[in-house]
Each structure stands twice: as structure tokens, then as C-alpha cells.
Amino acid sequence: MNSVLSNIEKLDTYILRRNEYVAESKDEPNKLNTSRKLEVTTKKNQSNNKKRPPPINKARKSLPSIFRRAEENKDSAQIITPTGSKIIGSPLYKRSKSDSFFDHAFNFDKNLGKGSFGEVVAATCRSTSKKFAIKKIPFSKLSKDQYREAYGHMNIPCHPNIVRFHQAWIDKQILHIQLEMCDKSLAAYCHGIDWLEDKELWNVFLDILQGLGHLHNNFMLHNDIKPDNIFMTKNKVCKLGDFGLISDMRSEPINNSSNKHYQSEGDGKYCSKEAINGTLSIFSDIFSFGISILEVGTNIHLPSYGTGWEPIRKWEIPEEILEPMSDELRELVKQMMDKAPTRRPTCSELMKNHVVKEKLRIRKQEVEHIPSESQFQPISYLTTESPLGSRESSCSSIDFLDHFENAEKKTPFVSKLNFDLEDDEDEYEVFSPPRTPVKKSRYQQTMPEVSPPRKIQKLFQRKNLFDE
């Protein structure tokens, strides 16, 4: 019993009494001190009395490189591709500078025009010294329909009667569309004259017929054909351009009564009745094409609305106004402006007309002799996939024969192997035999006799295959 009490006395310092706080002594760290009493309090007050550790000042972690690059690329020039957009990787463009890609790659020449969409400028490429028309659309006026123009250009295969698209990019909150440089529009060409002569009018008709037929064959609708959107080169070859209202028949419904953008942006002077109501088709393009030929061929006034709008579409036109046009072309335009859309001829049907077919054959022969302004050369894309700044042409277009025809003709000589060279000798220091025949004893070198190992000699001796 005494031993038990003594053990209890030893453990007395480790037994807690109620409302006593246990702590280590400062003088003796291993000895418990129970001098401090705990106060009776609630759980709420107890939690408030707890001293919380001071907040740790954590250094802000840097963004991962992929996000940091995304922030840096936010203000960089991005080229538009059919699958999205990419940062321009051209030797002409330095992202570190505040200048835009346009300022790096082009020299501004002059303003070509302004409109509700933005402006069009003429510029010269610094690397190729070629002139281009660049359309600039600010983001404040940018919508999905302006992107449609860039993607529409990409979906149209190249054709000599369609304005050539080169590239499109976004920089400094502005969409840029780089296009082929033409001389002037058909409307500007006809300004100041009464009407086009029969030869010029037929050339315009045949050129645009081929370009529009190319669009329709690729299931695309222009939706805004008029003289302002028909462009002429210096050689008077007409091209169809300005695809701001282009639509794809494969992805968009032909009959779209809710097409408010076309109803607000389309020019009422050249629209058919069903197009005003929102029904777009290849026949609405045919109507706009026909009434455009009527305007430049007769100098008729086309109202956007009013009392004169309806009679023109009913072909209630005085004979004296139609007099400058030839009878064949007048009849074709009348069919193209028929009030029933399905009775209008398609581009392929117009090309099968015997008069059009013969004139088209002559026109193609004339265009073949016109010097081309590199309209079929590869497009200059300044992308990350092209470190040199342009796509190289196919090797099939390079004439390799010119390099060999002027070369000096020589007979190839194959030198013999020299087995007398040591490992540390330079084979170029050894005299090579001349090409002329010489004495064999002077230049022919014999192989040294090498005796086989002893074991192999005995093996061949047994089989009688080796003579000592």
C-alpha cells in the first residue's frame, strides 16, 4: 500500500485537477506547471479568445508560360485561316514594337474609298513591291457578317474573273482583308459617259457571266451584284468582288425570310422583288446581274424605291431608252429580269446560248493574249508555317533543263580504291591517275601478299585446298 501511495505522489504533477491548465515550466521544460487556472466560458468566447497566427505573406505566383503567352499574344497581329487564327510569324513583323503589322509589311499609297464598313486603301508590299487593295474594318463596326466576307473569300477557288483574295488578319482591333489591286470599279468607269458601246458591254457581260457561274458552281451566292462591286483591270478585264453579303448554299437556307442584314444592307436599286422579301437564290443573283447590265448599257435611272421601281421590274421601259443595246443582249437581259424567278436562265444556260457561246469563244482568245498580272501565282501568306514569308511554288513549274543545257559536258571519272593508304595519311595527297591511258606498270599498284593464320593453313592442308 505504501508503494502505491509513493507512486501516486510521483505522478501527482502529471494528474490534472479540474480547471487547471497544463504547461511546461520555463526553468524545467520537462516538468509540468499547473499554477494557471482556466476561466469558465462558452465555446463561442473560447473560439474568439484563441490567438490566430499572423497571415503569411505569400508571394504571387507567376502565370504559367502558356497563359503568359496568351496574354502577350492578345494584342499581337493574328492571321485568319479557315480553321481559326494564328499569330503572324513573318520576318517583316516584330511584336515587340508598337507599330501594326500593316506598318511593318506595307507602305501606304492612298485612300481608295470609305463607307459605313470602314475604308479601303492602296498599299505596296515591302518585300515584293506589289500593290494591293486592303480593306480595313474597325471592331466597332465589325460583326459576324464582316468575318463572313473573309471566310467567303477563302472558300472561293481562284478564277480570273473574281477579285483575288490574298490574306486577312486582325491587328489593333481592326480587321484587314488584303485583295488584288484593280484599276477602278465599273461604276467609276461609266461615270461621265452615257453608256458603254456594244463591244465593251458584251465584254463586261461575258466576264461577269464566267465569274458568277464560277461562284454558283461552288454553291456560293454573291447577293450584292452591282456596278460598284464589279472591278476592271488596266486591261479592261472585269472581275466580281466585294463579298460582304456572300452566303453558302450548303450551310445556309436559300429561303430565309428573316435575313434582316441583307434587307438592310442590300442595295434596293438592283434587288429583285423576292430578294427584298428575304428569299435569296441563284435567280436573285441573275436578276441583279441583268439589271446592272441594263444600267451601264442604257444609262437608265434606277430608283431605290418609289413609282419608278415597279415598272422597271415589269419591263415597262420605253423603247428609246433600250435603243443603245443590241437586240440579242436586250433579249437576254429581259429573260434575266423576269418577274418569276424560276423562269430566269442560270449561268450555265446562258453560256449555252448560241450567240453567247460564239462571243465567249472570241473573248477567251482575246484574254489569252492579254499579259497576266500574276493572277495565278501562289498567294503570299505570312504565317507561322512559312518562315520565309511566302509559299513556294510547285517544283513542276521550275525549268531545270536551263541549268544543264549550258553546263560544260564532261565524262565522269570513278577513282579506284587505294589499299596502300595508312590510317594517318590524307587520301587527297595521293596522286590520282590521269584520264588519259598510260602504262599499267607505272600506276597500277599490286596488292601485298598476306599469309593466312597458321590454324587456317593446317585446315586447308587437310582438305588439300591450300598450297604452301
Q: Which parts are annotated binding residues for ATP?
A: 112-120, 135
Question: Among the options 171, 207, 224, 228, which is catalytic?
Answer: 224
- Report CA-CA distances (Å) from 377 to 133, 163, 238, 261: 17, 14, 19, 35
Q: Would residue 424 show up in a list of annotated catalytic residues for this protein?
A: no
* First-last CA distance in the chain: 115
> Scanning the structure block, which residue is given the C-alpha cell 515550466?
25
- Residues classed as catalytic: 224
